[in-house]
Structure 1
Amino acid sequence: MNKFLAPAALISLAALTLTGCTDNTTGTTAGDGTINVVSTAEACTVSSNQVPGGTLKFNVKNEGSAVTEFYLLAEDGLRIAGEVENIGPGVSRDLVVIAPAGSYYTACKPGMVGEGIRAPFSVTESAEGPSVSADRASLQKNATELYSAYVKDQSEQLVRGTQNFATAFAAGDEQLAKKLYAPTRMHWERIEPVAESFGDLDPILDAREADLEKGEAFTGWHRAEKDLWSPTGYTKLSKDERTTLAQQMVKDTKELQWRTTELTFTPDKLSNGAKELLDEVATGKVTGEEELFSHTDLWDFQANLEGAKIAYEDLQPLLVGTDDQLDAQLKKNFAALQEQLDEHRVGDGFKYYNQLTATQIKDLAAGVDALSEPLSQLTAAAVK
């Protein structure tokens, strides 16, 4: 779950008073057009701060001692144009993104905390014009239209589910609220990269308590989760507090649904989003940190897998005849990971995560890694 922006930072970001931005550029790119990025604890060095528009490839190398992330942010400093997460020390990973002409910000996030180390980044008009054939452009357009319809459907179902959950939660019907919690959150988890692209809504709807900065309010789904599955020593919310939280969740979810209708998708957003969903599994669900109180992580795991598979299947026609080997590998690994998850089904749900053995968790992590590697190649194959 991306926690890139804290709510307290939004006003200054929207005004673009980005104190702390650094210009760590060398003004050059690699011979193949790759933009090289080096992330350390103190710096985010980008090989060029101005490039022609089109398909951009960033190669991000982590030379620090902590796990890092890299973002390309839109001009408002809030919207995420592209991201690559979970880059371990000494590891390099690529981000391929379609970026039209405009002003952006690059940002490294060493330690995956705080607002990141930022610098202005400019994309100019490309002199080469469109580089995609008409037939391929048609396939790309169809893929994005299919995915847009999927996001619309999931966001609408999320609103309805949140309303039902909020009604039960506010009324103190804990049995019903617990029953609705995990299935409703699956709609969020299936389109999580889309939700995370709204830097103000994601933290207030989906922040875990451990992600909060000092003084930040604990709100949203995980606040309700903690109240429903109360840990030892916890003081439960009053009726008025439950009602306030429930009403705010519905309001924020409706805002999310409305904003998704304004989004324009591109093939790289689909493929990068699919990879982000697998990263979410690797960094949150497999570790058991996401649903700390309810232990419903496998419901989230399933939803992330489904969302990634939808994006892949929408893009799959672009692989036929151009990268059949990658297509076959993705089909195989999606099926294998789904088979692993199915082993833990109970009725129409799953085992609670604290019921799994260490060996079972290790096997799931290996399945995620096996799918993540070929999925990281999907963007380059889909946008060429």
Structure 2
Amino acid sequence: MGTHESQSLFWERHIGLSRPFWRFAHPHLTQILDQSFFQQYTPEDVYKAVNRVSRSLIRVEADELTYPLHVILRYNIEKDVIAGKLHVKDIATRWNQDMKLLLNIDVPTDDKGALQDVHWSGLAFGYFPTYLIGAIAAAQLYHYCAMDIPDIERKIESGDFVPIKDWLKEKVHRHGRRYPSLDAMLEEQLGEALNPKYFIDYLTTKYSELYQILVTITVQRKLTILRPKARSIHKGQPSTIKYLEDAVVGHAIEMRQLREAIDRAKEWLLETRPILSAPNVFKEYTINMDQAPLPFSLASSTTLELEGEKTVTIRQTENSKTRCTVSLTITADGRKLKPMIIFKSQRGAGRLRPENLQPASIETTWCSAVNTMPGKTRKT
């Protein structure tokens, strides 16, 4: 079923939701529909509108970025019900809890929650993951299709979809039930089994550009990862669903924490702005300062080596644990003061005089170096 779902999602998402497609479709819609309406909007406007991201209670109304969360929610519930860890009577409660965790949405009624799908009432347990597997396969197929058809975007923009259809016919359609699994087909036709990397890369590239944000999700390869501090080794590649669950859920939690931090910052601004606007407050003398430790040497804390290697080299430096303290200051009127670097030393940092830095030294600080820089002591 993952193969079946991949074909509809290939055309729906990678073609129908693409920027080149709306450059192709826009003039046709302008002719067919209300011309005055469509003439107000460019193809770029329509492209952004159809790719709008918004949290939704309903799976079938979800955008492609948040859709995986809906699948993960259902998959986890199904798995626990089948394993005997969750009673049927508790599904609605669990559903509501997971919706709050994953999408930060409160479910008002069960018809907008656990009862919204027909799958479970029709005993179609285990089907939901095929939607996500299909999305992953669609992204992988499109990646290789674009490699074989380098001008694929130009063809989409011109409405020439035949080469794409022929490529899918050659790689997927003509084989029918020849292969025992989706992995087997992809491995023979594309050279690798199902790989979530292409799906994550597709979403990351597309929506970070659309929303002008930077999103970083690290894809775990089949490598031995050695972390020097913990001396622990992790091998192998997690299952597709488990991997995506960790990546997407982790990102969702981070985004929720970010939203909460932004809300707290807004509350703080609402409280402080009236104070700063008072006539007896001078913004140029009102400052905000923060300090942070800065290592002298930024050696990597992770070493990668191919699985099976008996020796792993760890790169370290003599100053990997030596730190100074950096103090950053900004005034209420927006001026950034020179950064201050504080060294742990009785004799100070008299010789360190970079143009845009203010050096200082103090005996009791976060720094771990002793007598790092000779010179006169500066009181801080």
TM-score by length of structure 2 reads 0.25
Larger proportion of strand: 1
Higher normalized contact order (CA 8 Å, seq sep 6+, divided by chain length)? 1
Max radius of gyration: which structure? Answer: 2
